[in-house]
Structure 1
Amino acid sequence: MNILLLLIPLALMLLGVAVYAFWWAVKRGQFDDLDTPALDILRDDPPREHAPRRR
């Protein structure tokens, strides 16, 4: 039972850190555009110009 005196406050502190991290991410705009990153992988890259080989 004594371990609960340590684990309950520790769990509440971790919950507070998680809520703060979520609030920080929302405030910074991390969740504003969820569709574009998923579609970026489907776009074709422009062809690369090959540099001449050096010998």
Structure 2
Amino acid sequence: MPTKQSNLVSSKADHNSASANTLPETGEKKSNLGVIGLSLAAVAGLMGLAIKKRKN
């Protein structure tokens, strides 16, 4: 017959292994805003180079 202490130990081990398999929720969401900003900066830079080339 299992004792109370052995049941507590096994339930703690089950809980720890279940929580070790899952990652904590950080609230981070994916956003494409950085990619959009980078692409706009690249286009603006290329346009600036094209205008500078035309003037020379």
TM-score of the aligned structures, taking structure 1 as reference length: 0.47
TM-score of the aligned structures, taking structure 2 as reference length: 0.46
More helix as a share of residues: 2
Higher relative contact order (CA 8 A, sep 6+): 1
Whichever of the two has the greater Rg, that structure is: 2
